[in-house]
Amino acid sequence: MKLSAKIIEKVRSLSEQLNYHNIRYYAHDDPEIPDAEYDRLLKELQTLEKEYPQLINDESPTQRVGSSPLTEFGQVTHSIPMLSLANAMDEQELREFDKRVRQALAVDQVTYAAEPKLDGLAVSLRYEKGKLVKAATRGDGHVGEDITQNIRTIKSIPLHLLGREIPRVLEVRGEVFMPKKGFEALNKKVITEGGKVFANPRNAAAGSLRQLDSSVTAKRPLEMICYGIGEVIDGDIPDLYSEIINDLQKLGLRVSPERAVLNGVEECLQYYADLSSKRESLPYEIDGIVFKVDRIEDQKKLGFVSRAPRWAIAQKFPAQEEMTSLKSVDFQVGRTGAITPVARLEPVVVGGVTVSNASLHNMDEIERLDIRIGDTVILRRAGDVIPQIVSVVMSRRPSAARKIKQPLHCPVCGSDVTKPDGQVALRCSGGLYCAAQRKEAIKHFASRKAMDIEGLGDKLVEQLVNEELIHDPADLFILKTDQLSSLERMGEKSAGNLVLALQDSKKTTLQKFIYSLGIREVGEATARALSQHLGTLDAIMGADEDRLIEIPDIGPIVAANIVSFFKQKHNIDVVKKLIKYGVHWEHQPVSQTDAGPLDGMIFVITGTLSEMTRADAKEALLRRGAKVTGSISKKTNYLLVGGSPGSKADKARDLGVPVLDEKEFLALIEKNQ
């Protein structure tokens, strides 16, 4: 159909009117016309574009329904990194932040810009000559995902900025979120369609924004509030952060209606209290308040630390609590053998997140809480930390509530569970056999100070276990070149070299072999003492606690760990396999005393050394018969002090323990060769 100037002008006029009213409605919360009139204008534009499709362009208000589905998101490198914020968990931490800022700026009082911390997804919008050309997620702060198609569907984000004085390039940062009402409506719809409900508005927003099909995003009630800028080219930047935000609003971008400018920390604390009291009545979820130094020049002076600015902080809201019931308790085995009780709860929403599990930490905590299966409990979730059971509602305890029993055997491998005196953690004693500990046990076995298997790194160990090529350390020694070369990033040459390295590692020492077994709390010094005083593997495996305690460096807890380890048939089987596959060492004569010149002396090392590592210093002492411990006592002979020593140096002086600097220590080592 032939186009006339009148039609072209009509389409242009309708587009401009609708974009203007979108900004009035979403950015300024000040609609100028009734919804019915807006709908009439939109319908008129849709009719004209259907009749004259050649007039449709990317900036048309009708083009917020989504484009063709993507196969994957592209990557966007942020020209200026999108940094995270440091957190203040209470009033004291906020006061400390303010003190640091005032001291750095050498002023008595600082003016801050404040705004709610939205619980959504951080994004960056790039406008060129006022037109939205690119949008990306925060990602890792340096590289994010290209979500331009999805962002274009959000009505509170203008496709073209208002005004004449617009920078040639303007990068805007903000938070995409889902309002509470929109979240509730979305979940109701999901339920009627038989789908899986979203746990909270943040998850719903993140899931909606990361749809490869932007037409799905277009149907989700997403909104955006802007809180800052990134790259700006050919544009004036105001001297105050608060003025930058005001300018963004003038350009048609939505900013927080709750924002404020505050003088000093006392006004910040009052603002925090005021907003905290009205938090539940806000139309969106917030999890704290963000305070930023208002003067841009001051922000530049303060700079950055790590991945966060020194001029901003987020004060988080206190923990949120709910009641629920304890359905059961499972015991999970960690990679180091620690066994942790995990509470299985009746699902409950706490702080916007559905929680069904919580750690009970250990049996001592269970006894402290006097918690039983069937109890009603109070669950707390503070920020993003793991939910915590803080107490039991005793008045609601049912008569059928059952006590939680400590497991006697590992739920994964069936080995005995130990709990040494004076310790709180339960532990599986099947270190070489237990599937839960398999990866860590093999990594330790292959490490430099143990069997020192060259070329067998942590990632390769994980591959071998994941592919079920090895089930315990002994299986390493029957690996074939063709098995290894089939692994990812392992060619035939690398595989052959590893097989040779495995063969070379079979010749070791009894000390290294004992250390490689990963017995709880048996380090290099203890392994050395065992090999020196007992002489043979059979003698070590057969020693009882009384015999072990007679050996210097071995106390009751370590002795119990050694006996428990060798008591497990699974561990003995692996040790026998290792010997069968050729692991061996030269016999050394049994010594009842260490022959080193520093025999019996106790050292503690603290701080950073410049001439050697702390591990090297420890090894030098052990070779000379000394004992190295981690804590200062009256029995300590010397404290070796490096840079930034901490409290140990003070304690040594209080106890009268001689302190050596690194130069004095090296002289002592040289003297006692």
Q: 92: burial class by Cβ within 10 Å (0-12, 13-18, 19+)?
A: exposed
Angle between the N-to-C axes of helices 180-192 and 201-209, in degrees from 0 to 180, rounded to the nearest 10: 70
3-class secondary structure per residue, 25-86: HHCCCCCCCCHHHHHHHHHHHHHHHHHCHHHCCCCCCCCCCCCCCCCCCCEEECCCCCCCCE
pLDDT in tens, 556-566: 888 888 998 99
**Residue 20: which pLDDT band, with cuts at 50, 70 and 90?**
confident
State the CATH architecture for 417-422+425-585. Answer: Orthogonal Bundle (1.10)
Domain boundaries, the chain: 5-55, 86-316, 326-396, 417-422+425-585, 602-671
Q: Above 80 in pLDDT, residue 140?
A: no
CATH number of 5-55: 1.10.287.610
**Residue 523: which pLDDT band, with cuts at 50, 70 and 90?**
confident
Q: Above 50 in pLDDT, residue 593?
A: no
Nearest to 626 by CA among 557, 529, 531: 529
State the CATH architecture for 326-396. Answer: Beta Barrel (2.40)
Angle between the N-to-C axes of helices 458-466 and 438-446, in degrees from 0 to 180, rounded to the nearest 10: 140
Q: Above 80 in pLDDT, residue 371?
A: yes
Q: Above 50 in pLDDT, residue 288?
A: yes
Tokens, residue 126: 């790039």
CA distance 217 to 635: 68
The mean pLDDT value of the chain amounts to 86
Residue 201: its pLDDT value, please? 83
More confident residue, 8 or 303: 303
**Residue 30: which pLDDT band, with cuts at 50, 70 and 90?**
low
CATH number of 86-316: 3.30.470.30
Is 117 designated active site? Answer: yes
CA distance 323 to 380: 9
Residue 239: its pLDDT value, please? 95
Top mean pLDDT of 209-213, 361-365, 417-421 is at: 361-365
Distances (CA, A) of 536 to 511, 527, 615: 10, 12, 27
Residue 142: its pLDDT value, please? 87
Of the residues 10, 43, 50, 117, only one is catalytic, namely 117
CA distance 62 to 43: 9
Is the distance from CB of 341 to CB of 329 less than 8 angstroms?
Answer: yes
Residue 590: its pLDDT value, please? 60
pLDDT in tens, 454-479: 999 888 998 998 888 999 999 999 99
For range 372-385, the mean pLDDT: 79
Tokens, residue 356: 């069904």
Q: How far apart are the first and last CA of the chain?
A: 100
Q: Flag whether the pTM goes above 0.85.
A: no
Residue 22: its pLDDT value, please? 73
For range 238-263, the mean pLDDT: 95
For range 382-406, the mean pLDDT: 83
CA distance 547 to 530: 11
For range 275-279, the mean pLDDT: 87
pLDDT in tens, 505-522: 999 999 999 999 999 888
Q: Above 50 in pLDDT, residue 594?
A: no
pLDDT in tens, 616-638: 888 788 777 788 887 888 889 99
- Within 10 angstroms of residue 3's Cβ, the number of other Cβ atoms is 11
CATH fold for domain 602-671: Rossmann fold (3.40.50)
Distances (CA, A) of 518 to 440, 506, 553, 571: 9, 17, 17, 11
